[in-house]
């Protein structure tokens, strides 16, 4: 018998580890609720995970098997289950984050001690850390060079779901509720979970959004991105399956612009792999700056400004819309993530780790590599990051990417009766004009031009510039 340990791969199709286990037959699938992992989770993520696990269980039941669910430390639970079911080998897909690798090392050790074989399989990304390097053999720290190699490298094909006869006839315990796991139902509306929902999103995107992605992806109200991030985070769909759909779309493209648009989307998939590699080779980035500075950056601490940012009450409309989207949908559009992250670090001058912790709590797609990469990019502390002196102006960002204020009005009801012009000019309006346009919407918490200067000085001091 084989035990297949599901982690961030909650699907049966295009699952390379599961296919490897199924080759030898008699697979017992298991998921372990690990309190050490749950300690870092937020309610929206747990909600999506539980729903995805239910869908995964259905896939196994349709194949006359079941998903075992246990709670505890995997380094104790897996040898215990191996003994109970007479398992010779435990198989899982690799996870490249530092904490996961430490946990997996403990699991390997305990399985060794129990004399159970194990195998970890490459699955979550196309190209494993270490497989795309500079000519000198070092990991890339500049994305563009990484991307060129990533794009030109051959991709593996997706693998089918195992047949019922490769699976063991087992039956699992009831799934815990979100409360059993120590969480309350999230206030946010979380996307539908499971492979079917992910496939629907992929198919809809490949029919339309992918062809205008390059043009529209920066405009939050245009619905031009795939919304696959939570599926990719939890592996409810395989990366090979996603890539193959994009290649078919490339074949359907009507002209050069459409093909370039498909490639632009594929390059975002490559960003995910780039940040996975960065995290693999630099596990410290979860808590420390990727870039070293001569002096520590003297981030400010101001609880009231931080609260205003978290609650979407900064008086900068595009920032507030994004922060409220996060609370309402456990998601935020990419352009707006960049804007709010820049605002926290360059306008409020607060440490990116505060923002990262907040995103980790509320995003259903929180992924250590991508979230950390995004934050350190915006904070100018990361690899291939935004230069510290190029600071987003939240007003012009709002004007450019949400000209009619449609996205802002969707999430900030206090501004619904104001005109787009009043909304974008909000920091410049007089108190009387503000009272007339939107009496319940807050005054700007800071002056952007003053804070911009302060941010540049803060970075120059840390760099030791004269």
Any contact of residue 211 with ligand FAD (CB under 6 A)? Answer: no
Any contact of residue 365 with ligand FAD (CB under 6 A)? Answer: yes
Any contact of residue 267 with ligand FAD (CB under 6 A)? Answer: no
Residue 260 CB: number of other CB atoms within 10 A? Answer: 16
> Would you say 241 and 13 are in contact if contact means Cβ atoms under 8 Å apart?
yes
Q: Is 268 annotated as a binding residue?
A: yes
Return d(Cα 5, Cα 139) in angstroms, integer: 29
* CA trace torsion 72, 47, 196, 1 (10° rounding): 10
Residue 250 C-beta: closest distance to ligand FAD, Å: 15
Q: Is 272 annotated as a binding residue?
A: yes
Any contact of residue 378 with ligand FAD (CB under 6 A)? Answer: yes
SS3 label, residue 120: strand
Q: Which of 309, 375, 392, 459 binds ligand FAD (CB under 6 A)?
A: 375
Any contact of residue 220 with ligand FAD (CB under 6 A)? Answer: no
Residues in region 281-340 near ligand FAD by CB under 6 A: 334, 337-338
Q: Which of 370, 380, 386, 395 binds ligand FAD (CB under 6 A)?
A: 370
Residue 390 C-beta: closest distance to ligand FAD, Å: 14
Q: Is 6 annotated as a binding residue?
A: no
Q: Which of 354, 367, 384, 402 binds ligand FAD (CB under 6 A)?
A: 367
> Would you say 30 and 9 are in contact if contact means Cβ atoms under 8 Å apart?
no
Any contact of residue 275 with ligand FAD (CB under 6 A)? Answer: yes
Any contact of residue 8 with ligand FAD (CB under 6 A)? Answer: no
> 315 — phi, psi (to 5°)?
80, 10
Q: Which of 359, 362, 388, 392 binds ligand FAD (CB under 6 A)?
A: 359
Q: Is 273 annotated as a binding residue?
A: yes
Q: Is 225 annotated as a binding residue?
A: yes
SS3 label, residue 5: strand
Return d(Cα 76, Cα 111) in angstroms, integer: 9
> Would you say 335 and 268 are in contact if contact means Cβ atoms under 8 Å apart?
no
Any contact of residue 238 with ligand FAD (CB under 6 A)? Answer: no
> Would you say 427 and 315 are in contact if contact means Cβ atoms under 8 Å apart?
yes
Distances (CA, A) of 98 to 34, 278, 284, 354, 422: 16, 11, 8, 20, 47
SS3 label, residue 456: helix
Q: Is 213 annotated as a binding residue?
A: yes
Return d(Cα 226, Cα 190) in angstroms, integer: 15
Any contact of residue 272 with ligand FAD (CB under 6 A)? Answer: yes
The region of 166-174, 364-372, 386-394, 454-462 touching ligand FAD under the rule CB under 6 A is: 364-372
Give the containing element (helix H, strand E) for 93. strand 89-93
Any contact of residue 225 with ligand FAD (CB under 6 A)? Answer: yes
Return d(Cα 272, Cα 267) in angstroms, integer: 9
Q: Is 265 annotated as a binding residue?
A: yes
Q: Is 390 annotated as a binding residue?
A: no
Residues that bind ligand FAD (CB under 6 A): 217, 225-229, 232-233, 268-269, 271-272, 275, 334, 337-338, 341, 359, 363, 365-367, 370-371, 373-375, 378
Annotated binding residues, as ranges? 213, 225-229, 265, 268-275, 365-367
């Amino acid at each position: 018998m084989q035990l297949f340990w599901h982690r961030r791969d909650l699907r049966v199709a295009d699952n390379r580890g599961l296919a490897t286990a199924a080759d030898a037959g008699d697979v017992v699938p298991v998921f372990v609720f690990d309190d050490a992992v749950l300690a870092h989770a937020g309610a929206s993520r747990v909600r999506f995970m539980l729903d995805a696990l239910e869908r995964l269980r259905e896939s196994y039941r349709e194949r006359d098997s079941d998903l075992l669910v246990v709670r505890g430390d995997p380094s104790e639970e897996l040898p215990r289950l191996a003994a109970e079911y007479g398992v010779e080998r435990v198989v899982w897909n690799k996870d490249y984050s530092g904490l996961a690798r430490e946990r997996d090392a403990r699991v390997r050790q305990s399985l060794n001690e129990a004399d159970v074989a194990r195998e970890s399989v490459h699955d979550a990304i196309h190209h494993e850390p270490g497989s795309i390097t500079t000519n000198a053999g070092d990991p890339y720290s500049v994305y563009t060079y990484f991307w060129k190699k990533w794009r030109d490298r051959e991709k593996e094909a997706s693998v089918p779901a195992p047949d019922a006869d490769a699976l063991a006839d087992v039956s699992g315990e009831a799934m815990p509720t979100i409360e059993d796991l120590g969480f309350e139902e999230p206030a946010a509306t979380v996307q539908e979970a499971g492979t079917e929902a992910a496939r629907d999103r992929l198919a809809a995107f490949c029919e339309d959004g992918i062809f205008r992605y390059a043009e529209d992806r920066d405009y939050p109200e245009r619905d031009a991105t795939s919304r696959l991030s939570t599926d990719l985070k939890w592996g409810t769909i395989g990366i090979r399956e996603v890539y193959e759909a994009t290649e078919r779309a490339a074949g359907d493209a009507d002209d050069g612009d459409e093909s370039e648009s498909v490639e632009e989307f594929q390059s975002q998939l490559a960003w995910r792999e780039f940040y996975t590699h960065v995290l693999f080779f630099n596990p410290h980035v979860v808590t420390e700056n990727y870039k070293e500075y001569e002096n520590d950056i003297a981030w400010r601490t101001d609880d009231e400004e931080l609260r205003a940012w978290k609650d979407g009450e900064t008086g900068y409309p595009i920032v507030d819309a994004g922060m409220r989207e996060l609370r309402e949908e456990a998601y935020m559009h990419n352009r707006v993530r960049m804007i709010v992250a820049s605002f926290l670090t360059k306008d409020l001058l607060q440490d990116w780790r505060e923002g990262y912790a907040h995103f980790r709590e509320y995003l259903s797609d929180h992924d250590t590599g991508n979230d950390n990469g995004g934050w350190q990019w915006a904070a100018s502390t990361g690899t291939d990051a935004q230069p510290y002196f190029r600071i987003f102006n939240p007003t012009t960002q709002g004007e450019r990417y949400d000209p009619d204020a449609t996205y802002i009005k969707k999430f900030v009801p206090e501004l619904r009766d104001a005109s787009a012009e009043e909304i974008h000019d909000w920091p410049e309006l007089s108190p009387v004009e503000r009272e007339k346009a939107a009496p319940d919407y807050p005054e700007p918490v800071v002056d952007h031009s003053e804070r911009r200067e302060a941010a540049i000085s803060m970075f120059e001091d840390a760099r030791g510039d004269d």
